[in-house]
Structure 1
Amino acid sequence: MTVALDTTAGPGDDSAAEESTLLLRVLGALLREDVVGLRTRTTPLERPDGRWLRLPADPAAGALLLPVGPDGYQSADAARLPLLVRESDGARLTTVDEVIAALRALADPLDRPGFDAFAQECRQTLATMRLHARTADELADELTQRHGSSSATWTGLEGGLGFDAVAARLDHPVYPTARGRSGLDEAQLRSYAPEFRPDFALRWLAVPRAALTVPGGPAALPDCWPTPARLGLPHLGGSHLALPVHPLTLGAPLRDALRETGLEHDAVLSERQLLTVTPTLSMRTVAVDADPRLHLKLPLATATLGLRNRRTIKPRTLIDGAAGQRLLETVLAREPRFAASVLQADETVYAHAGHELLAVLCRRYPEGLEGSTVVPMAALLAQAPGGRLVVDELADRYYGGDPLALLDAFLTLLFDWQTTLFGYGIGLESHQQNISLVLTEGPHGTRLRLLFKDNDAPRLNTVRLRDTLGADAPDPAEFADPRILAADDQPVLDLFATITVHLCAGSYAFGLARHGRAPLGTLLDLVRDRLAEAVERLGTAPGDPGAALRSYVLDAPHLPVKAMVSAGTLLTKERSGAADINKHYTTGPNYLLPTGTSR
């Protein structure tokens, strides 16, 4: 797709600062992933202003010099100013195009198209960053009018949409260009992206019943589902069912999908727009305004977190999400101590026509959340209207003004649940976007619960599952994606480290330290202590699940780290070897080792 946002700086844009901010993240990610040998082919140099890395280049261009400083989160080093320098003439490369072009020249010719795509991705992200900067006050006013001036008063699932909006303007902890969405222009972002808190109506496609897979039949679909008659197509009432279509999927993407499925002559697009919705943080998932408990996940013909990370919905993920939910319900039934603290959205109702652009998931949230604050973890370090961090405003209301107390509470519950799942052989891809904190004031203080969704890409140790669940273990045939199933702990451990530890714990320790809420060592000790307590409950004798977690996560010299840029954009699957672009790893330092070892 072409970059549709205006990528030039407008009047008043602090374009140089924004580009430097982006490039520091980009170079940090490329260094972490050892792109063109930034980790393994470089020679360290000590200079008066600190350490630099010298990367050999071709004789004509000379070497490239990259100034670095300590990182520690998922890489030993982080890029720093003055960005990339050409040794031959001392020229500083300070723009997206200059930096990516210099690194592209060192790449294998087979990989250079990926560098071109990544440069485009960077430009899209830079344009989005500038758009966000220009419209920050606009969003604050919109959220204040809709939800109130303090995020601590945003309650229920409707209030959660305000948290989604501020989270959408926050950078991803790992992926450097997460704010960019390929091919969308400003008008489309304002109309459909969560960071603008818009409302819009869905379009509907009447699809022959015989072409649709709807587990449970049409009666399982939500009560708000329109009939063909409501869509102005009464003659199709007995033969067709309605399938929602996101407005951004109209046009060529929808026509291509219908042609590929042979439905171009039998499916009918209604001219009527029905069901007003609001985008959530994932953008492709929308909340139904008239029924806040109902969210619809709809395929989009765009990509985020990498060129190959398309926002479509493969039918098999719907099958796997329902199977994953059933498995988690089985575990919850055996672990009653989590009955009041771990909540799940229902994801068993869906429909698809055998194509990744002709599908919908009908996600139903639990009842009784109206008086609680429901905040996705991804929003905690975002800015609320007025400029304060969400975590600070929530800490004021629920934890006596202490954000570390809030962190302590959610880490304790999160690690307890996730290590319990590991004991069964289960690892969830429950990252910051897929977990919400549910905070409720009660007579005995604050009650914290965790709300999970999108459990369609777990990793399962089938041997441990059979050993722990016996006859209740799922039939492997229930899962459509064979990558979910493994015969040992390794894929489960990788997921636990990269998702639960890095994204849901470590990122907050480093983030709160960056914001000055506590020393980094104090925050990392808290993460390690709470994880160690949870691991101990699994048993740490040889062969116990806790022993595997302790060895692989708490005591290992290095931890797995997602190589998201390489697998998602720079390299083809054939070149990267990634079976799953979201589960392709390199390694980084273990920041959980006791003080004096890695800190």
Structure 2
Amino acid sequence: MTTTAPATATPQVVAQAVPQAAPHRATPADTTEAQLLLRLLGALLREDVVGLRTRTTTVDRPDGRWLRLPADDGDALLLPVVEDGYQSEYAARLPLLARESDGRELTTHDEVLGALSALADPVDRGGFDAFAEECRQTLATMRLHADTADEVAAALTAGTLAATRGADPADWTGLAGGLAYDTLAARLDHPVYPTARGRSGLDESQLRAYAPEFHPRFALRWIAVPQQDLTVAGGPAALPAAWPTPAALGLPELDHSHLALPVHPLTVGAPLREALSAAGLAGRAVLAERPYLDVVPTLSMRTVAVTADPTLHIKVPMATATLGLRNRRIIRPGFLADGAAGQRLLETVIAREPRFQGVILHADESVYAHAGHELLAALCRRYPAGLDDAVVTPLAALLAEAPGGRLLIDHLADRFYGGDPIALLDAYLRLLLDWQTTLFGYGIALESHQQNISLVLDRGPAGDTRVRLLFKDDDSPRVNAARVRATLGADAPLGFDDVRALCDDDRPLTDMFTTITLHLCAGSYAFGLARHGRAEAAALLELVRDRLTEAVERLGTGPGEPGATLRAQVLDAAQLPVKAMVSAGSLLSKERSGAADINKHYTTGPNYLRRVEGSP
């Protein structure tokens, strides 16, 4: 069940003297550590970790505003802040915490998490220790990215890595070119989660060999599984032509009794042995010694594109975690069935909405296989044909730095919008918000974040720019079953394995719409483009509000209509739900956080779309 925390109090402004600390450095000596620490402090503040929002008072000093957090020993911690507005009233202004008593500055993530852990409930301190390790892994990855930026940029523009076409990123077309955009996106921080670039347990050699930020090629490993132990949606004949037989893997004696199942190379070893034992397949499933099928990792890393046919992606589980140590990159068999169910539901909606046909595109995720274990599964994702001449980029890459130093969105704007990135944003928002509010009208909200939506740009028959959106991964929607049945009929496809997908009111839908579609897919670009100086934040937020208002009004805003719900709970709400990803994903156990789903656990933040009284 969706968890939404109550609105939190605004820190009280206190006119009081604060002991003068030593001069405050703008950044620690390590600028990469400073970058991580600013994001870390912002996330902890946003999520009210140890009361950074609700237990603090604000203190104004000559250099700016500080939040004062009292400690049990009579001392206090001071956090320098600046007004923000994107999911939090304040953000960290400097990468440090200061002790009030002696002015000592804590300028590393280890020091900061150690000080905050001392204020936490003792049962939570293990989570702080684990998160500190997550930060260490992320810091190492960030340094690696910085050290290899020129190397990878040169390789992309020179075409020495797969899936690139030319020096200008706006010319990297087709699904093959999209893999180069994945490389750019993998080197960009997540809009919210501070340690998103870290992958637990992987060292530099493994990242270079298998991570999307290095755009490597490698071959999948395979196991031959007894046919009776493998579930294949649609039957073995539905598997792609590229799928090997046991004989192709060097196991001809198993050709008539076994089927092949791909395994990520990083899963081979102890994780695979343990999975086979747990599934009762030890001694019966055979790991082929021969790697087979060259692939390139996509942004999700566990999903790989077949080099010889980039329209075919294969998702395989991995024994690692991202976006929180509890957010493991496994594939539960039920998720595969739910992805297919979500696809059928969306196809039913599009069949009733002609304006989205051929404009909202979707990968086919109906073919999959599993052996009843979260590390013994695979999804065969087939992308639509006809995209060879189009730019196909994940939304996550738009604000990434392209080779040469400019943002990718600037390159795309040059090619398609006369050099105006705001015009590109406007066209994208019109389509995105029209589609997502239409789904809401049917009783559906998608967990379609920046990684799961690709922007498709090309020229139409008349030479004008055409904008489309390409979706994937629809295994975790929120569905108001009563409204879906009312709009699509009693036989609407609602066969979800995960009972959390279905709900009986709109609150889980508006929570997901807000935290995913609004915050990550709209608001992040308004604030991000403002941060990069492309326009004023106020103008960009007004653009988001205008496009959302238009979309909401198309639904109807009369009493009881879906548009009225979106207006009240999104456009005009005093506060909006905000994902508490660090708390639910790393710091707190599920028992402590109360999160039934760590990706749908919320706190609250300011509504940056709300018009205050007297504003135009």
TM range (shorter): over 0.9
Aligned mate of 1:587, from 582, 588, 604: 604
**Equivalent residue number for residue 462 of structure 1:** 481
State how far apart, in whole Å, the 2-side matches of 1:235 and 1:128 are. Answer: 44
Aligned partner of 2:89 among 73, 76, 88: 76
Contact 1:591 1:598 in 2 (8 A): no
Report whether the alignment pairs 1:486 with 2:503. yes
For the 8 Å contact 1:82–1:92, the answer to whether it is kept is no
2:73 equivalent in structure 1:
59
Query: What is the deviation of 1:89?
Result: 1.1
Give CA deviations for 1:476-532 in whole Å, capped at 9, x if unaligned: xx1100000001111011000000000000000000000000000000000000000
Show the 5 A alignment for 1:253-264. Answer: 253-264=271-282
**CA distance in 2 between partners of 1:98 and 1:444 (Å):** 57
How far is 1:49 from its partner? 1.0
Aligned to 2:38: 24
SS of the counterpart of 1:456? Answer: coil
User: Which residue identity lines up with residue 126 of structure 1 in the other structure?
Assistant: L
Cα distance in 2 between the residues matched to 1:508 and 1:372: 22
What displacement does 1:82 show?
A: 5.2
Q: 2:525 aligns with which of 508, 511, 530?
A: 508
Instruction: Please state whether the residue corresponding to 2:247 is helix, strand or coil.
Output: coil
Give yes or no for contact 1:462–1:487 (8 Å, CA) kept in 2.
Answer: yes
The answer for the alignment partner of 1:234 in structure 2 is 252
- Which of the residues 26, 32, 38 maps onto 2:52? 38
Shift of 1:43: 1.2
Contact 1:395-1:401 within 8 A present in 2 as well:
yes
1:557 is matched with which residue: 553, 571, 574? 574
Structure 1 moving runs of 4+ over 3 Å: 595-599
Instruction: Tell me the CA shift for residue 142 of structure 1.
Output: 1.4
Corresponding residue for 1:112?
A: 125
Deviations 1:100-134 (A, max 9, x none): 10000001010000000000011111111100000
Aligned partner of 2:422 in structure 1 is: 404
Contact 1:35 1:566 in 2 (8 A): yes
SS of equivalent to 1:103: helix
Structure 1 residue 427, shift from structure 2 partner:
0.2
C-alpha distance in structure 1 between counterparts of 2:267 and 2:613, whole Å:
53
Pick from 156, 159, 163: which aligns with 1:143? Answer: 156
CA change 1:597–1:575 in 2 (3 A) is: farther
Alpha-carbon separation, structure 1, partners of 2:443 and 2:29 = 48
Partner residue, 2:585: 568
Report the equivalent of 2:384.
Answer: 366
- Residue ranges of structure 2 left out of the alignment (5+ in a row): 1-27
Which of 460, 469, 492 is the equivalent residue of 1:450?
Answer: 469
Among 43, 48, 61, the residue aligned to 2:62: 48
Post-superposition shift, 1:454?
Answer: 0.3
Show the counterpart of 2:397.
Answer: 379
**Is 2:538 the partner of 1:521?**
yes
Cα displacement (A) at 1:15: 6.1
Alpha-carbon contact 1:305-1:564 (below 8 Å) kept: yes
Q: Deviations over 1:343-366 (max 9, x none)?
A: 000000000001000000000000
Displacement of 1:595 in angstroms is 6.0
- Residue 178 of structure 1 corresponds to which residue in structure 2? 196
C-alpha distance in 2 between matches for 1:108 and 1:333:
52
Paired with 1:145 and 1:467, the residues of 2 have a C-alpha distance of 55
> Once the two structures are superposed, what CA deviation does each residue of 1:260-301 show, in whole Å capped at 9, x if it has no partner?
011011000000011000000000000000111000001010
Mapped partners of 1:472, 1:373: distance in 2: 37
Secondary structure of the equivalent of 1:593? coil
- Provide, for residues 207-236 of structure 1, a one-character-per-residue CA deviation record: whole Å limited to 9, x for no partner: 011111101110000001110111111111
Matched, 1:194 2:212: yes
The alignment partner of 2:534 has SS state of: coil
Residue-by-residue CA offset, 1:177-236 (whole Å, 9 max, x unaligned): 000000100000000000001000011100011111101110000001110111111111
**Hey, what's the Cα distance between the residues in 1 that align with 2:36 and 2:86?**
18
- Report which stretch shifted further, 250-259 or 463-472: 463-472
- Is 2:299 the partner of 1:281? yes
Shift of 1:51: 1.1
Residue aligned with 1:142, SS: helix
Tell whether the 8 Å contact from 1:169 to 1:179 is kept in structure 2 after alignment.
yes
- In structure 1, what residue type is equivalent to 2:376? L
Give the whole-Å Cα distance in 2 for the aligned partners of 1:597 and 1:28.
Answer: 31
- Looking at structure 2, the residues matched to 484 and 66 of structure 1 have their Cα atoms a distance apart, in angstroms, of 39
Whichever residue aligns with residue 353 of structure 1, its letter is A
What amino acid maps onto 1:493 in structure 2? T
**Whole-angstrom CA distance in 1 between matches of 2:459 and 2:218:** 33
Kindly state the Cα deviation for residue 555 of structure 1 after the two structures are TM-superposed: 0.3
Q: Aligned-pair RMSD on alpha carbons?
A: 1.2
Shift of 1:340: 2.1
Larger deviation: 92-101 or 79-88?
A: 79-88
Please state how far the C-alpha of 1:597 moved relative to its aligned partner.
Answer: 7.7
Report if the CA contact (8 A) 2:394-2:451 is conserved.
yes
- Cα distance in 1 for partners of 2:319, 2:446 equals 26
The question of whether the paired residues in 2 share the 8 Å contact of 1:330 and 1:472 is answered with: no
Corresponding residue for residue 125 of structure 1: 138
Other-structure match for 1:331: 349
Structure 1 unaligned blocks of 5 or more: 1-13
Within 5 Å, which residues of 2 pair with 1:186-225?
A: 186-225=204-243
* Residue 15 to residue 357, structure 1, CA distance change in 2 (3 Å): farther
State whether residues 41 and 95 of structure 2, in contact with CA within 8 Å, keep that contact through their aligned partners in structure 1: no
| 1-structure distance, mates of 2:109, 2:519 | 27
AA matched with 2:420: D
Matched to 1:21, the amino acid is Q
**What is the deviation of 1:145?**
2.2
Q: Does 1:545 align with 2:545?
A: no
TM-score between the two structures when normalised by the length of structure 1: 0.96
**CA distance, structure 2, for counterparts of residue 157 and residue 82 of structure 1:** 39
Q: Percent of aligned pairs with the same residue?
A: 74
Partner of 2:389, secondary structure, is coil
Distance 2:197 2:280 in 1: 35
Compute the TM-score of the two structures, normalised by the length of structure 2: 0.93
Paired residues of 2:35 and 2:95 also in contact (CA < 8 A): no
- 1:98 maps to 2:111: yes
